[in-house]
Amino acid sequence: MRVGHLAERCAKIRTLTPIPLPVGEGLSNRHLGSACLIIPRSATTTGPAMSIDQLETVAQAMVAPGKGIIAIDESTGTIKKRFDSVGIPNTEENRRAYREMLLTAPGLGEHISGAILYDETIRQSTKAGVPFTQVMKQAGIIPGIKVDLGAKPLAGFPGELVTEGLDGLRERLAEYVEFGAEFAKWRAVITIGEDMPSSTCIDANAHALARYAALCQEAGIVPMVEPEVLMDGDHDIDTCYEVTEATLRSLFAALYEHNVMLEGTILKASMVVSGKDCAEQADVDEVAESTILCLKSAVPAVLPGIVFLSGGQSDEDATAHLNAMNQLGPHPWPLSFSYGRAMQSAALQLWAKDMAGNFAAAQKVVVERARDNGLAALGQWRQAA
């Protein structure tokens, strides 16, 4: 493994959280608390890779103060469930119109730094024929793209999942760059249950996330890595903490082994919460404190930022938890949001009642949710009386 300009790279870093990593060539088996976690890419690597400075610039823009990510990357099957719940036919035109309503909301770019799109969406345009990615860039919103192909059963481990989609990813990334994508997202799913998760499941997903991230950076795209620990189950918050910490440690060890430059990477994390069916639900302060402690124990400070998924939380809970975490700051990294349902649900319900007549009103609701979460990313949100 090439260490290269280690001292020069480490000069950029004030603090790194100690993380135990595997022995590498020329490195001792120790906690790299004072050493740089990033290994420069080999000079033999091919592809139109951005410089680290360019990747870092995009990553930092994704977590700009008071801004976050809106996730509108639902697959055709997932959006069907959302549309069915409000009585909207799941046609391509309705999906396009819905995404247009979201992406063209006036003032959205004041609180949203980027949007994660689905393969269908990144190819679509407004009713007037303007590509969505062009509309986004004009509003100061960075286009992103979901590139994984979903979680599939992990052979030999009943009940556990591993995300697929690495085959052909290099070619798909090159195409997405042509469409204007500047970052990508890959979601892994970790389930808590009896004798779950196994270390095999955690490591298999971490390995896939690392391979995806390396391919993204080779293509000149910032990778967003999302190891989601599901809320499903009756586990308590302590169990969630243990699983989340183990998952994050495995992830960053894998990123290290694959020469992924953390300065050009964003973590999309799940919060440390009680399982949905747990009899004792942790309150806002306990969730905030547990999540911050877990992140500080496992995530290097060189990372440009962390965005949270809502993961089935209510709109208000997702905002309140983010706000409470930022009020505990300052932290080694900006903490922001990458919400899907928690950003869209109220607007979708309103839009469904009259898709043409409620178009502007639904947009206003989206912007209000973006503003609330933008304030939470600063620790300045106040719950309505």
Assess whether pLDDT exceeds 70 at residue 329: yes
Alpha-carbon span 331 to 344, nearest angstrom: 28
CATH of domain 51-376: 3.20.20.70
Catalytic residue among 74, 182, 226, 228: 226
List beta partners, residue 186. 225
Confidence of residue 3 (pLDDT cuts 50, 70, 90): very low
- pLDDT digit string (tens) for 229-264? 999 999 999 999 999 999 999 999 999 999 999 999
What is residue 126's predicted lDDT score, i.e. its pLDDT?
A: 97
Confidence of residue 50 (pLDDT cuts 50, 70, 90): low
Alpha-carbon span 189 to 149, nearest angstrom: 12
Parse the chain into domains and list their residue ranges. Answer: 51-376
The answer to whether 268 is a known catalytic residue is yes
List beta partners, residue 31. 20
Nearest CA to 1 among 27, 20, 37? 27
The whole-model pTM stands at 0.86
Q: How large a percentage of the chain has pLDDT more than 70?
A: 86
Nearest CA to 229 among 269, 199, 194, 267? 269
Asked whether 208 and 188 are in contact (CB, 8 A), the reply is yes
Going from the C-alpha of 88 to that of each of 79, 85, 101, 352, the distances in angstroms are 10, 8, 15, 6
Judging by beta carbons within 10 Å of its beta carbon (0-12, 13-18, 19+), is residue 15 exposed, middle or buried?
Answer: exposed
Kindly report the average pLDDT of the chain as a whole number. Answer: 88
